[in-house]
Chains A and B, each alone.
Chain A
Amino acid sequence: MSELTSKTIAELRDGFRSGDFTAREIAETYNAAVAAAKTLNAYTVETPEDALAAAQAADEARGNGDPGALAGIPLGIKDLFATRGVDSTAGSNILKGFKPTYESTVTANLRKAGAGMLGKLNMDEFAMGSSNETSAYGPVLSPWRRKGSNVGLTPGGSSGGSAAAVAADIAPGVTGTDTGGSIRQPAAFVGICGIKPTYGRCSRWGVVAFASSLDQAGPMAKTVRDCAILLEAMAGFDPKDSTSLDLPVPQWEANLSSNLNGKRVGIPKEYRIDGVPAEINALWDQGIEWLKDAGATPVEISLPHTKYALPTYYIIAPAEASSNLARYDGVRYGMRAAVEGGLDDMYGATRAGGFGAEVKRRIMIGTYVLSAGFYDAYFTKAQKVRALIKQDFRNAFQQCDVILTPTAPSAAFGIGETTDPLAMYLNDVFAVPASLAGLPAMSVPGGLDGQGLPLGLHLIGNELDEQMVLNAGLAIEERAGFTARPEKWW
């Protein structure tokens, strides 16, 4: 049955519905695959019984002729999502053992559609990282390796476990979250698809907050179509999230079309930056050709404030995080350090012991930029630049329907190779502007670099126009013919 794990979600769904195989067979196959891939460290918790229970319900529903959109599909869930009764720790020691009494809206939506859960997926602590190396559970190993090398590579981050699970066929699809590229960069690193929808499409209720004004959940899967299927199930208005968009969920899958006749593809000149490998720029040019072939017209556009996006992001995101993470204080749940002294001593010891270095760094940055005397110079200025970046995109979408760029400035790097935090932050240089503007954006695999590692192409759409992003992604997917799979070594 191992060929089941190489199927797309669409294929599993259709095969299940037509009775080619049962949901139970799918769940059992995946449960076994998950159990056999512990080396990758992709899952922090395995929940085979959950996947089986959902499969049983799906098989019964199929008998009754009314299976949900995701009936029979088991999924991996990023550890940032609260899942009732199952450890939900955001990859952090400070939440070790925390089992919520509640279920996030996004995972509840997926369950309502019939999906089961294979387990919780490893991630950078509190989604802060681009390599999954900041996780309290240790790094995730990418299933990919450089040609002729057995150096362990990162799957990117922060949704590193999510990316590795799809690439290694130990989940047909997964949830990710994207604050400044955390879905798209890992998707690019492991040769899969991942989309971050417009800010507000997916409810943030029950998702551990990193930077509230940027956090968005989204799916990662093998294909563009699978992303459309999953996103339809995840998205939707939620009155429990004040920033949730009160709009109906479009039928993204039914409206998939790779015919881009009459569409204009914006190519932002500011994304041609120094130090990016020629292979990546070449793939970008290839991407333009593919979209032309699909009927689109390329137009050069300008996003003049692009160079300020990364510094702006690294003021706003830590500022919000420094406040969002204040609740992890050892008083009500999670870790509490046993320490002599008073309340302040307990706070200090708990947070010193519970948070990792990168989380502490960002709390420090965020606290600093919000401090009296620095607030205007940093936070207020960053908010202003953010408004300018949004305006850049608004202007650009007067001239084009979708924007094409590379997803990341490099292919996957080795574990432990990038030790300078600033060099790590540069991973998200292409991803961050769309996050600041709240726009839908997707990474689609384009090809392999000289070392045999996947590279992604990045599509940014106008507000609420996930369809355009998916359609352009589909056009690339069809033309790139990306069928490379990592050779199984684990």
Chain B
Amino acid sequence: MADSTAPYRVKGDTGEWEVVVGLEVHAQITASKAKMFSGAATAFGAEPNTQVSLVDAAMPGMLPVPNQECIRQAVRTGMALDAVINRWSRFDRKNYFYADLPQGYQISQLYHPLVGPGEVEILLDDKDENSVKQIGIERIHVEQDAGKLMHDQHPTKSYVDLNRCGVALMEIVSRPDMRSPAEAGAYLRKLRAILRYVGSCDGNMEEGSMRADVNVSVRKPGGEFGTRTETKNVNSVRFVMAVIEHEAKRQVELIEEGGEVAQETRLYDPDKNVTRSLRSKEDAHDYRYFPDPDLLPLELDEAFLEECRSSLPELPDAKRKRYEGLGITPYNAGVLTAEVETARWFDALLDAGAEPRQGANWVVAELFGALNRRNETLATTGISPVEAAELLKLVADGTISGTLAKQVFEIMLETGDAPSRIVEERGLKQTSDTGAIDAEIDKILAANADKVAEYKGGKPQLFGFFVGQTMKAMQGKANPQVVNERLRAKLD
């Protein structure tokens, strides 16, 4: 297995090249069910042009009014990324003509963004706590999304759907701190996890609530930054990684053939796994950014910031450290905190009284194994944290053995019944009744006199055979510890 912390290098004819990656992530503020400036609804998949207000359609004389909830969510997101929150920010207009942009400009924030520098911590190796790397966040600004053109509705005409027009986005701009597709993948997954913990964005890349513009350049390791290309609107972690890999190779080949990388905007074609040029720097729009005179600057007061701060949940890194403090292995702590649903489920399990280490092992090994096998998720399974805690407690207090617990769990998955009921109804309770155990042991020793002789003659590994036979005779319900004790008493 390759060492995932070894530097990622593109091998060219002239030696090794390093790739430099920065990501601009557009995250829809799904916490708000209303648009950024118009109050119209934002439900995904609605019929075209049914979620459009007069403001979204840019009717004459219409004015934008900022949605406070969107501002609040962007501030909370900034805080979760340890970022500077700018108490004074402002909206700017980005001017360009396109049929999906009714105003003829996008309201965004160029000069004074809401959120300044912050950072995201990633692990280069899930199993190695020391493989930490900080990815810098340059800024987060809030802006409106555009509508979309539909070219497949009519042979010669294009249709416009303005449902997405005006939807609130956070643009989270990273520094060019990533050096491999894997780092970019780890960053995106971590960022997505944080957004979902905060609740500002559901991180749903299939529905377009999160997408990335991927900036890639190559250089000789440690050298000057090369010219970058920007691949727009990449909508999965896998595709982002593919774009980086592809772009890095393409750029290295281009340079080594004596060419130059053009600063340009590119598009990714996932079917062919290639990027192609969309427009060059020369064709780039002059967006004529200027402060939007329809909107006052945003000024945030301390009470607002305090509310944002105090409403933040425990975030993945803090939670992972807390779990480790409870004796949970770093690997398990990482797995349990990677997704907010898992962490919430596990916290509920702890709240229901489960022992942390036992609980973590069981969730990661047993529960996830079963969910994978059954093609289920925590959201769809009928197993509740309270029932799971009950099952673990039955093992911990010796009521059932670990082997029996697996059986009980399978029955829980099938029937949805509570573990105590299953144990009760099916008579699966473990017994420590020494009388019954002794009686079975005596029978087994008598029936296997030859093995007893071998054991006593110097084959201690046969002890396990006697344990197994006894457990089998007891239909798995004997307390293994008691079986051990009684066997030792009789054999040794």
Q: Which A positions have Cβ atoms within 8 angstroms of B? A: 81-82, 88, 90, 95, 98, 100-102, 104, 204-209, 211-213, 239-243, 319-320, 322-323, 325-327, 329, 331-333, 343-344, 347, 367, 370-372, 375, 379
The answer to whether A326 touches B290 (Cβ under 8 A) is: no
The answer to whether A212 touches B293 (Cβ under 8 A) is: yes
Complex Cα distance, B61 from A343, in Å, reads: 24
B97 lies within 8 A of chain A by Cβ: yes
Specify which chain A residues have a CB less than 8 angstroms from the CB of B64 in the assembled complex: 242
- 16 CB contacts below 8 A, A to B, read A82-B61, A88-B60, A101-B54, A205-B61, A209-B294, A241-B63, A241-B65, A242-B295, A242-B296, A243-B295, A320-B290, A323-B105, A331-B102, A332-B102, A370-B95, A372-B286
The answer to whether B288 touches A370 (Cβ under 8 A) is: yes
Q: Lowest 6 A-B CB distances belong to which pairs?
A: A326-B104, A370-B288, A212-B293, A213-B293, A327-B58, A206-B61
The answer to whether B97 touches A329 (Cβ under 8 A) is: yes
B160 lies within 8 A of chain A by Cβ: yes
Closest residue of chain B to A373 (Cβ to Cβ) is: B286
List residues 93-109 of chain B with CB under 8 A from any CB of chain A.
Answer: 93, 95, 97-99, 102-105
Closest residue of chain A to B65 (Cβ to Cβ) is: A242
The answer to whether A242 touches B66 (Cβ under 8 A) is: yes
Distance between B287 CB and nearest chain A CB, rounded to angstroms: 8
B59 lies within 8 A of chain A by Cβ: yes
The answer to whether B95 touches A327 (Cβ under 8 A) is: no
The answer to whether A370 touches B290 (Cβ under 8 A) is: yes
Specify which chain B residues have a CB less than 8 angstroms from the CB of A322 in the assembled complex: 95, 288
B62 lies within 8 A of chain A by Cβ: yes
B391 lies within 8 A of chain A by Cβ: no
Distance between A198 CB and nearest chain B CB, rounded to angstroms: 15
Task: Knowing that A323-B104, A326-B97, A327-B60 touch, tell me 4 more A-B residue pairs with CB under 8 angstroms.
Answer: A102-B59, A204-B61, A243-B293, A325-B104
Closest residue of chain A to B105 (Cβ to Cβ) is: A323
B210 lies within 8 A of chain A by Cβ: no
The answer to whether A209 touches B61 (Cβ under 8 A) is: yes
Complex Cα distance, B61 from A422, in Å, reads: 28
- What 0/1 pattern do residues 334 to 362 of B give for CB contact below 8 A with A? 00000000000000000000000000000
Most buried by A among B54, B60, B66: B60
Complex Cα distance, B57 from A319, in Å, reads: 22
The answer to whether B295 touches A327 (Cβ under 8 A) is: no
The answer to whether B57 touches A332 (Cβ under 8 A) is: yes
Complex Cα distance, B93 from A326, in Å, reads: 12
Complex Cα distance, B288 from A104, in Å, reads: 29
Closest residue of chain A to B39 (Cβ to Cβ) is: A240
Specify which chain B residues have a CB less than 8 angstroms from the CB of A325 in the assembled complex: 104
Per a CB cutoff under 8 Å, which of A88, A204, A323 touches B288? A323
The answer to whether A205 touches B63 (Cβ under 8 A) is: yes
Complex Cα distance, B105 from A204, in Å, reads: 19
- What 0/1 pattern do residues 149 to 169 of B give for CB contact below 8 A with A? 000000000101000000000
With A243-B294, A326-B103 known as contacts, the answer to whether A104 contacts B61 (CB < 8 A) is yes
List residues 14-59 of chain B with CB under 8 A from any CB of chain A.
Answer: 54, 57-59
Specify which chain B residues have a CB less than 8 angstroms from the CB of A243 in the assembled complex: 293-296
Distance between B139 CB and nearest chain A CB, rounded to angstroms: 20
Specify which chain B residues have a CB less than 8 angstroms from the CB of A326 in the assembled complex: 95, 97, 103-105
Most buried by B among A88, A90, A323, A343: A323
Specify which chain B residues have a CB less than 8 angstroms from the CB of A102 in the assembled complex: 54, 59
The answer to whether A204 touches B63 (Cβ under 8 A) is: yes
Specify which chain A residues have a CB less than 8 angstroms from the CB of B57 in the assembled complex: 332
Specify which chain B residues have a CB less than 8 angstroms from the CB of A206 in the assembled complex: 61-62
Closest residue of chain B to A330 (Cβ to Cβ) is: B99
Specify which chain B residues have a CB less than 8 angstroms from the CB of A88 in the assembled complex: 60
Specify which chain B residues have a CB less than 8 angstroms from the CB of A95 in the assembled complex: 60
The answer to whether B99 touches A331 (Cβ under 8 A) is: yes
Distance between A81 CB and nearest chain B CB, rounded to angstroms: 8
The answer to whether A320 touches B99 (Cβ under 8 A) is: no
Specify which chain A residues have a CB less than 8 angstroms from the CB of B95 in the assembled complex: 322-323, 326, 370
The answer to whether A347 touches B97 (Cβ under 8 A) is: yes
The answer to whether B102 touches A82 (Cβ under 8 A) is: no
Specify which chain A residues have a CB less than 8 angstroms from the CB of B60 in the assembled complex: 82, 88, 90, 95, 98, 100, 208-209, 327
Per a CB cutoff under 8 Å, which of A211, A213, A240 touches B63? A240
The answer to whether B293 touches A211 (Cβ under 8 A) is: yes
Per a CB cutoff under 8 Å, which of B58, B286, B296 touches A332? B58
Complex Cα distance, B290 from A208, in Å, reads: 20
Specify which chain A residues have a CB less than 8 angstroms from the CB of B93 in the assembled complex: 323
List residues 255-301 of chain B with CB under 8 A from any CB of chain A.
Answer: 286, 288-290, 293-296
Closest residue of chain B to A209 (Cβ to Cβ) is: B61
The answer to whether B290 touches A319 (Cβ under 8 A) is: yes
Specify which chain A residues have a CB less than 8 angstroms from the CB of B103 in the assembled complex: 326-327
The answer to whether B290 touches A323 (Cβ under 8 A) is: yes
- What 0/1 pattern do residues 60 to 97 of B give for CB contact below 8 A with A? 11111110000000000000000000000000010101
Complex Cα distance, B99 from A343, in Å, reads: 8
Complex Cα distance, B451 from A415, in Å, reads: 124
Specify which chain B residues have a CB less than 8 angstroms from the CB of A372 in the assembled complex: 286, 288
Distance between B25 CB and nearest chain A CB, rounded to angstroms: 26
Complex Cα distance, B99 from A371, in Å, reads: 22
Specify which chain B residues have a CB less than 8 angstroms from the CB of A327 in the assembled complex: 58, 60, 102-104
Complex Cα distance, B55 from A82, in Å, reads: 14
Specify which chain A residues have a CB less than 8 angstroms from the CB of B65 in the assembled complex: 239-242
Per a CB cutoff under 8 Å, which of B59, B66, B102, B104 touches A100? B59
Complex Cα distance, B61 from A82, in Å, reads: 7
Complex Cα distance, B287 from A375, in Å, reads: 11
Distance between A20 CB and nearest chain B CB, rounded to angstroms: 38
Specify which chain A residues have a CB less than 8 angstroms from the CB of B61 in the assembled complex: 81-82, 100, 104, 204-209
Complex Cα distance, B57 from A102, in Å, reads: 13
Closest residue of chain B to A81 (Cβ to Cβ) is: B61
Distance between A347 CB and nearest chain B CB, rounded to angstroms: 6
Complex Cα distance, B60 from A367, in Å, reads: 20
Closest residue of chain B to A89 (Cβ to Cβ) is: B60
Distance between B110 CB and nearest chain A CB, rounded to angstroms: 11
Closest residue of chain B to A98 (Cβ to Cβ) is: B60
Distance between A203 CB and nearest chain B CB, rounded to angstroms: 9
Specify which chain A residues have a CB less than 8 angstroms from the CB of B288 in the assembled complex: 322-323, 367, 370-372, 375
With A90-B60, A95-B60, A208-B60 known as contacts, the answer to whether A379 contacts B97 (CB < 8 A) is no
The answer to whether B160 touches A331 (Cβ under 8 A) is: yes
Specify which chain A residues have a CB less than 8 angstroms from the CB of B289 in the assembled complex: 370
Most buried by B among A82, A241, A331, A343: A331
Closest residue of chain A to B162 (Cβ to Cβ) is: A332
The answer to whether B59 touches A333 (Cβ under 8 A) is: yes
Specify which chain A residues have a CB less than 8 angstroms from the CB of B98 in the assembled complex: 343
Specify which chain A residues have a CB less than 8 angstroms from the CB of B295 in the assembled complex: 242-243
Closest residue of chain A to B61 (Cβ to Cβ) is: A206
Most buried by A among B58, B62, B158: B62
Complex Cα distance, B103 from A299, in Å, reads: 47
Per a CB cutoff under 8 Å, which of A101, A209, A239, A375 touches B290? A375
Specify which chain B residues have a CB less than 8 angstroms from the CB of A329 in the assembled complex: 97, 99, 104
Complex Cα distance, B65 from A205, in Å, reads: 11
Complex Cα distance, B95 from A329, in Å, reads: 13
Complex Cα distance, B59 from A240, in Å, reads: 14
Complex Cα distance, B294 from A205, in Å, reads: 10
Specify which chain B residues have a CB less than 8 angstroms from the CB of A367 in the assembled complex: 288
Distance between A299 CB and nearest chain B CB, rounded to angstroms: 34
Distance between B257 CB and nearest chain A CB, rounded to angstroms: 33
Complex Cα distance, B58 from A333, in Å, reads: 10
With A104-B61, A332-B58 known as contacts, the answer to whether A379 contacts B290 (CB < 8 A) is yes
Closest residue of chain B to A319 (Cβ to Cβ) is: B290
Distance between A363 CB and nearest chain B CB, rounded to angstroms: 11
Specify which chain A residues have a CB less than 8 angstroms from the CB of B290 in the assembled complex: 319-320, 323, 370, 375, 379
Complex Cα distance, B293 from A448, in Å, reads: 39
Distance between B147 CB and nearest chain A CB, rounded to angstroms: 10
Specify which chain B residues have a CB less than 8 angstroms from the CB of A331 in the assembled complex: 99, 102, 160
Complex Cα distance, B292 from A213, in Å, reads: 9
The answer to whether A371 touches B102 (Cβ under 8 A) is: no
